[in-house]
Structure 1
Amino acid sequence: MSTPWDTVIIGSGPNGLSAGVYLAQKGLRVLILEAADSLSAGTRTQELTLPGYRHDVGSAVHPLGYLSPYFQTLGLEKHGLEWVLPPASVAHPLDGQEAVLLSKSIAETAANLGVDAGRYQRLLAPFVGRTEELLRDALKPLGLPHSPLLLARFGLKAALPATLFQELFFKGERARALFGGCAAHSVLPLNKLFTAAVGYLFLITAHAENWAFPKGGAACIADALAACFAAAGGEIQFSTRINHWRDLPPARTYLFDTDPRQLVNIAGEQLPAAYRRRLGNYRYGPGVFKVDYALAGPIPWRDPRCAQASTVHLGGTFAELARGEKAAWRGRVADKPFVLLCQQSLFDPTRAPAGHHTGWAYCHVPFDSTQDMTAVIDRQIERFAPGFRDLVLARHTMNTQDLYAYNPNYLGGAITGGSVDITQLFTRPVARFNPYSTPNPNVFICSAATPPGAGVHGMCGYHAARGVAKRLGK
């Protein structure tokens, strides 16, 4: 007698949902099991502070979601997803001078970079109109590229440490700071190889389109993917926590949208000891401390142009950013950490009561840190927006342990799915020809612990699902 399911997916994050859509559209019988009573902890929206204030509990702004090569094939807008495109992607305020603004126009962005205007345009111009080509290769595991010359043009610079990249290609502090804020999304010390890749790629995406986010909250991405999955015949079962292999229903294949530790805890008896040991050596990197704000008004930026961007990078100069990132990596808390702040309610009135606003902010902290960074984050915002504290009606905070309790994929508060330094950039979670497979031919992994890593783009799930489909003869 055949099993009722071709594939059971553990976890309903964007990668689990993306894998489910791909497989269901192939005509396979697919079940997604979710431990919580709602979809995708990484893209969930809740009233965390006060009634009427809708906060993104996980991710907030999604440039790679909007540009995702896989999402673009799904027509998620037909399932209710509506993207908001702000006037600019990033504002990077600096002490005693105008903020740097990153917008879709390379010329406009370069115009506020002073001495580096020409250098910046030469660095970014080759990718204008070709971002889709680049992402198709950059958001995939190692293999033959579709556009080898374009990828090489990116990769030769991207392999550098961010510290060396900014010295080689920029002369002034404004361009260096803008690049450094983007590179700090890597959650690595900026002197490590390939940290330039994150900064460079984020600059490129900003010139394809201003960084987008979903109207109504990040949960709308998960809702649209789930609707697409249901339309293809897939099923989702909520409030079903899987602690052991025996908890799983019979299926031909299993796909884990979990971190490596959960994979071992659940499926360990199905995997060779040597493979389990290798997964046990997987490193997660620093965590984050997050604050959500209910605000009586918009953030009073010293430079009003900061209100044009969905995302604000707070951290001053490149040197200051680099010190903060190195501190978190080495187990220390920085006095002036890089703070990533999002202000979606400026462009999406569904997020807060009329005239009021939300704020979303985090800083990087050591793995599993329990130190309360609320005052530090408040101080970094107030540094560039005097009077900010007076607007705060309520706060909701999450330290690394709170984040792990909320989402077991965030071990130690590491929201990136694991460190992306040189030892794990191309070989996550372990070195295998097919990184989504395991030694058990019926067990696969598709979380952010696989290539291309963190981000709400669904590409880990898409690539993993292709391997599952091949295993099932589709």
Structure 2
Amino acid sequence: MTLLDAVVVGSGPNGLAAAVTLARAGMGVRVLEAQPTVGGGSRTVRVPELADDLLFDLCSAVHPMAWASPFLRAFDLGARGVELVAPEVAYAQPIDGGRAGLAFRDLDRTAERLGPDGDAWRDLLGPLAEQWRQVTALALGDKRTVRGMLAGVSGPAALASMVGPGLRFGSAVLEQGGPRWDRRFLTEEAKALLTGVAAHNITPLPSLGGAGTALLLAALAHADSGWAIPVGGSQVIIDALVRDLEAHGGTVETGRRVASWSDLPPARAVLFDTTPATALAVAGDRIGRARRAALRRFRYGNAAAKVDFVLSGPVPWRVPDVGRAATVHVGGTRAEMVIAEDTVANGLHADRPTVLVSDPSVADPGRVRGGVRPLWAYAHVPAGSPQDVTDEVVRQIERFAPGFRDVVVGSRCIPAAEMERHNENYPGGDISAGAATMWQMIARPTSAPDPYLLAEGVYLCSASTPPGPGVHGMGGWHAARRALRREFDVRSEPSLRP
């Protein structure tokens, strides 16, 4: 049997980023995917029981990182025919009383709409948006090495250029992740607007992990591209990666579940775009005892339950400008979201859950077919919940969009307990592939000096490694570059240009 240079287990964005990097360095690469289609959480699928013609994003739908990620910037999606379109309003947060916070791509316009909190919003996010390259490099680095923290920032003064933005970002995280988080803003609109982004982490708030996520994503909303929607759905990003992999001699096999080492073809290196638990089950005793013990201590987080809707028209938001955003955080005020996230953390369902809603047709009108459109929604729930949350999600949306029920043509729910059937990297519905606490965002999956190396020739490259969740490909890129140096003695990085 032919000896491959590398096998990648899993075809999510990280797995494909690793495969592309290796293939472009001249390695023979094969990607094995258990599902019938490639893409992991970035798949776009048809749901015949809902609508024949509509495309639904299975997990990820909105992509700030598709434009900002150092890996994807170098890969250049635009040159490969992937069109990223960002609406004028990046995200919105409706609250009771016919009010809403709106995050325009234009920072000054956002500040103007926030009234007495405008200057405070501008002071917090303006410098981070201005220095988004440095902030993104820090946030998406490998959390271990200077080289890994400078990805995407080049030049002789690269390291010096990171100091100011790093200190500014760290100070803002400490402020918004701790007891002082309520001191900056006066209005419920501003407080809720930032909290809705922090809630992406599905952790109690305030938290340092939530603050880091909120500040990075909120800054990118005011950077050059805003929060992008890929025209045609998330799958177009995956398809571009697969095309490049195959153009450089790599192959992808779907329907190939890897349950043990014997399921792998012979290869000099194996990279797992999986959870640590899956890597442990497959690699077994090849991983040293201490590392196995540390990987078993890796904690998974709480969950999301997905609801897909088919609508006969736009969501009838009480505040019409909310409908200009492709992403809407539906959770009410900061205080309400704190209660909802605490409830989930205590293993219970919130009466008014935090719900993330995306209408991709706001930015991509082609997603409307035959007079109907898809609507994507998540509700935060306890890990492993089997509950169908459709009614709770409808009630929350209806609260801020009276008449929403009247435009719902059909729906389906994927409870948290079933998310793993669609993507094994989401155990119990944990779409972050590991609790997104500040410690686990740094010491992910363990505190080892090399977070990707599991054993000789065995690597982990999933969202369970730095920098964590998101469609950015950085975990795969970091791991593949290490494998090239360690396993193949390739010191020069391959170009990712088209």
TM-score, L = length of structure 1: 0.96
CA distance in 2, matches of 1:160, 1:427: 22
Distance 2:334 2:306 in 1: 22
Deviation at 1:137, TM superposition (A): 1.8
Q: Which moved more, 1:135-144 or 1:393-402?
A: 135-144
Which of the numbers 241, 250, 256 marks the counterpart of 2:257? 241
Larger mean CA deviation between 344-353 and 234-243 belongs to 344-353
Which consecutive residues of structure 2, in runs of 5 or more, have no partner in the other structure? 150-158, 491-498
Q: Distance in 2 between matches of 1:176 and 1:16?
A: 37
CA displacement at 1:244 relative to structure 2: 0.4
Deviation at 1:349, TM superposition (A): 2.7
Query: 2:441 aligned with 1:425, yes or no?
Result: yes
AA aligned to 1:188 is: T
**What secondary structure, in the 3-state scheme, does the structure 2 residue paired with 1:293 have?**
strand
- Deviation, 1:274, is 2.8
In structure 2, give the amino acid aligned to 1:59.
Answer: S
Asked if the contact 1:35–1:241 (Cα under 8 Å) also holds between the matched residues in 2, the reply is yes
Partner of 1:53: 54
What residue in structure 1 maps to residue 101 of structure 2?
100
- 1:151-190 equivalences in 2 (<5 Å): 151-160=166-175, 162=177, 164-190=179-205
Is 2:23–2:29's contact at 8 Å kept on the other side of the alignment? yes
1:424 CA drift (Å): 1.2
In structure 1, what is the equivalent of residue 154 of structure 2? none
How far 1:179 sits from its partner (Å)?
Answer: 0.7
Aligned equivalent of 2:335:
319
- Counterpart CA distance in 2 for 1:395 and 1:97 is 27
Distance 2:318 2:84 in 1: 28
**1:273 maps to 2:272:** no
Q: Does structure 1 conserve the Cα–Cα contact (< 8 Å) formed by 2:181 and 2:206?
A: no
User: Does the alignment pair 1:26 with 2:25?
Assistant: yes
Shift of 1:278: 1.8
Counterpart CA distance in 1 for 2:196 and 2:386 is 24
For 2:369 and 2:195, locate their aligned partners in 1 and report how far apart those are by CA, in whole Å: 34
Q: Pick one of 461, 464, 469 that aligns with 2:476.
A: 461
Change (3 A) 1:78 1:121: closer
Percent identity (aligned): 40
In structure 2, C-alpha distance between the alignment counterparts of 1:290 and 1:215, rounded to whole Å:
21
- Which of 313, 326, 342 is 1:310 aligned to? 326
- Give the Å deviation of 1:165: 4.8
Corresponding letter in the other structure for 2:128: F
How far apart are the structure 2 equivalents of 1:195 and 1:56?
A: 24
Q: Look up the match of 1:78.
A: 79
Shift of 1:163: 5.4
* Matched-pair contact (CA < 8 Å) for 2:30–2:252: yes
Alpha-carbon offset, residue 423 of structure 1: 3.1
Counterpart amino acid of 1:333?
Answer: H
Name the structure 1 match of 2:399. 383
What are the superposed Cα offsets for residues 206-251 of structure 1, whole Å, 9 maximum, x if unpaired?
0112210111111111101111211222111121111100111111
Partner of 2:138: 137
Q: Structure 1's 55 and 369: CA in aligned 2 closer, same or farther, altered over 3 A? A: same
Report the CA distance between 1:74 and its aligned residue: 1.1
Check conservation: 1:82, 1:215, Cα contact below 8 A: yes
In the TM superposition, residue 469 of structure 1 has moved relative to its aligned partner by: 0.8
**Within the alignment, does 1:43 sit opposite 2:59 as a pair?**
no
CA-to-aligned-CA distance 1:120-144 (integer Å, 9 cap, x gap): 1111221243211211121012233
Question: What is the aligned partner in structure 1 of residue 354 from structure 2?
Answer: 338
Residues 328-372 of structure 1: per-residue CA shift (max 9 Å, x gap): 111011001111000002332332314322110011101101122
Letter in 2 for 1:367: A
Q: Secondary structure at the match of 1:360?
A: strand
Letter of the structure 1 residue corresponding to residue 307 of structure 2: V
| Per-residue deviation, 1:86 | 1.2
1:196 is the counterpart of 2:211: yes
Could you tell me which amino acid in structure 2 is paired with residue 71 of structure 1?
L
Tell me the residue number matched to 1:206.
Answer: 221
Matched length:
472
Given the alignment of the two structures, is residue 229 of structure 1 paired with residue 230 of structure 2, yes or no? no
Query: How far apart, in 1, do the equivalents of 2:275 and 2:65 lie?
Result: 21
